[in-house]
Amino acid sequence: MITRKIPGLLVASALLAALASPAMADSDPYKADMQTGEKSWRAQKCAVYQETRAEMLETVPRAALSPEFAKAEEDYIANGCSGRAYACPKSKTELDYANKMSFAMMSHGLSGTFLPYGCKSSIQ
């Protein structure tokens, strides 16, 4: 009987220790480290996105991007590059811009799922 209880106790103890550890207790990847002030991974990605966007916009006439497209990107940035955004490219220029941004961001090691480019679908 004792041998049956020991594995259960070990598992319970291990779970309790893991939940009580500081690493598990505050594992929010979006917060900056309170000790060092280092940015979270999302904040770092958002900073790279903003820098790349600023560089890319220097090569694209601002008037070539629709107000809706530009606002969707700006709202995405204002929201800390989180949440689902829909900067829907509707012109050839917007599509070219979104593709160039996507390639540039991937060259920085970020995935396409991080980017705000996409169109809402009427199909749910």
Task: For the beta carbon of residue 112, count every other beta carbon within 10 angstroms.
Answer: 11
- The reported pLDDT for the residue numbered 35 is 53
Distance CA 34, CA 58 (A): 35
pLDDT beneath 50: ranges in the chain: 9-31, 33-34, 123-124
Reported as a single tens digit per residue, the pLDDT across 30-50 is 445 445 556 688 889 999 999
Distance CA 81, CA 83 (A): 7
- The reported pLDDT for the residue numbered 36 is 53
DSSP β-bridge partners for residue 51: none
**Helices 41-57 and 92-107 sit at what angle, rounded to 10 degrees?**
130
Whole-number percent of the chain with pLDDT over 70? 66
Place of tokens 């204002």: 78
Cβ–Cβ < 8 Å for 89, 69: yes
- The reported pLDDT for the residue numbered 2 is 52
- The reported pLDDT for the residue numbered 63 is 87
DSSP label at 118?
-
pTM above 0.85, yes or no: no
